[in-house]
Amino acid sequence: MIYESTRTKERQEELVDNGKSQTRKSYHIVGQAFDFVPIVNGKEGWNSYDLELYIKYAKSLGFTWGGDWKGFVDEPHLQFEYKGYGTDKTLENKPKPPVYPGKIIKKGSKGKNVQLVQKELGINADSIFGPITDQAVRNFQKKNGLSVDGKVGPITSSKLFN
Catalog residues that contact Zn ion under the rule CB under 5 A.
35, 77
3-state secondary structure 50-64: CCHHHHHHHHHCCEE
**Minimum CB distance to Zn ion smaller for 77 or for 151:** 77
Task: For helices 131-143 and 112-121, give the axis angle rounded to 10 degrees.
Answer: 50
Nearer to Zn ion, 31 or 150 (CB): 31
**36 vs 129, beta carbon nearer Zn ion:** 36
In angstroms, what is the minimal distance from the CB of 64 to Zn ion?
A: 11
Beta carbon of residue 16, minimum distance to Zn ion (angstroms, whole number): 12
Q: Which residue's C-beta sits nearest to Zn ion?
A: 77
| Rounded distance between C-alpha atoms, residue 86 and residue 32, angstroms | 7
Instruction: Provide CB contacts within 8 A for 149, sequence distance 6+.
Output: 138, 141
Least Å distance between CB 145 and Zn ion?
A: 21
Q: Minimum CB separation from Zn ion for residue 143, in Å?
A: 20
CB of 119 to Zn ion, least distance (A): 25
C-beta neighbour count of 50 within 10 angstroms: 12
If the CB atoms of residues 35 and 114 are measured against Zn ion, the closer one turns out to be 35
Distance CA 63, CA 140 (A): 31
Q: How many angstroms separate the CA atoms of 117 and 53, rounded?
A: 38
**Closer residue to Zn ion in complex, CB, 12/141:** 12
User: What DSSP character marks residue 41?
Assistant: T
